[in-house]
Amino acid sequence: MSFDSHDQRAIGRRMRDLAVRAGIETLAYFRSPDLDVRGKSDGTPVSAADLAANALIVSGLRQSFPEIPVVSEEVGGDTPSDWSAPFFLVDPLDGTREFISGSGHYTVNIALIVDHAPLLGAVYAPALDRLQWVREAGDAVEETPPFAADAAGPARALSCRTADNAALVAVHSRSHLNSRTRQYLARYAVTEATAAGSSLKFCLLAAAEADVYPRLGPTMEWDTAAAHAVLKAAGGRVVDAETGRDLVYGKPGLANPWFVACGRGVRVLPLAP
C-alpha cells in the first residue's frame, strides 16, 4: 500500500482533526476534580480521559480508513498480521502522570507508520494550546490557536534550527530524568536545559526551540511515533543511542531502544563504554 501526496494530505488532515477532537475531550476531564485514575496491569496509570480519547480516535480512524490497522496503547486497537504494512500508531494521552498532576504537559498522538518509519503524525497539547502535524511527507506545521476540530487554521512551517555544538539547548523529561541521562548530557556543551513532559520534547526540537533530547530509559513506540514524524518532517532525526541508526517501528513487543532526538547539525555522541 502506497500513499501519494493527495492520499497523505487527506490522511494527515483526518489525523489532525481527530487529535483536536480527542484533545478537547480530555480537557473536560483535566478540569474536573475527579480524574477517575486506575492502574493498568503494568503498573502505569490510566485515566478515564485516556480511554475516552482512545475510543474517539480508534473509531474515527477505522471509519475513515478501514483498510489500515490501528495500534493503540490502550484497549480496542488491532494487532497487524504484517508489521511491514502501513498501520496507525496511537497514544491517546501521553504523559498521564503530567495530566494527573495538573501540569498540562500531556499530548494526544496519532502516527501513520509506513515501511517501519513514521510518515505522518499529529501531536496536540490541548492544555498548552500547541498543535503540530504533518500535512504530507516533509511538510510539518504548527497551527495558531484557537483550534477547530473540523477546520485547519493558519499555520507556520516547522524547521529545526542548525545547532551550535558549542552552545546546545537540551530538553529532558520532567518525570523520568535519570542519572544515566544526566551523565550523557554532561558530555555535551549544553548552555541551557529545559524540562518538558510527554512528546512535547520532540515538539520543542521541531519548533527550533531546542537542539537535543536524549532518552536513556524505557519508552514504547506509541510514545514517540507521532512526534518523531513531525520532527523528521521538520528536518530532525531520532536515532538509536547505541547504533546511531534511525529509530524503526513495528518491532516485536513495540519497545524502543534508548534514543537521541535532535535537530540539524547536532553531533550525536556515542554511549559511554
- Do the annotations mark residue 91 as ligand-binding? yes
- Do the annotations mark residue 67 as ligand-binding? no
- Do the annotations mark residue 223 as ligand-binding? yes
Q: With CA atoms as reference, report the closest residue to 74 among 187, 220, 243.
A: 220
Largest CA distance in the chain: 51
Q: Kindly state the cell numbers that stand for 142.
A: 504548527
CA–CA distance, 66 with 79 (Å, rounded to integer):
14
- Do the annotations mark residue 96 as ligand-binding? yes
- Do the annotations mark residue 115 as ligand-binding? no
- Do the annotations mark residue 93 as ligand-binding? yes
CA–CA distance, 126 with 160 (Å, rounded to integer):
23
Grid look-up 510518515 returns: 119
- Do the annotations mark residue 94 as ligand-binding? yes
Q: Are 119 and 112 in contact (CB under 8 A)?
A: yes
Please compute, for residue 71, the number of CA atoms within 13 A of its CA located in the half-sphere on the CB side. Answer: 24
- Please report the sign of the dihedral spanned by the C-alpha atoms of residue 125, residue 115, residue 8, residue 155: positive
Burial classification of residue 257, based on how many CB atoms lie within 10 Å of its CB (0-12 exposed, 13-18 middle, 19 or more buried): middle
Annotated binding site for substrate: which residue ranges? 73, 93-96, 223
Annotated binding site for Mg(2+): which residue ranges? 73, 91, 93-94, 223
Annotated binding site: which residue ranges? 73, 91, 93-96, 223
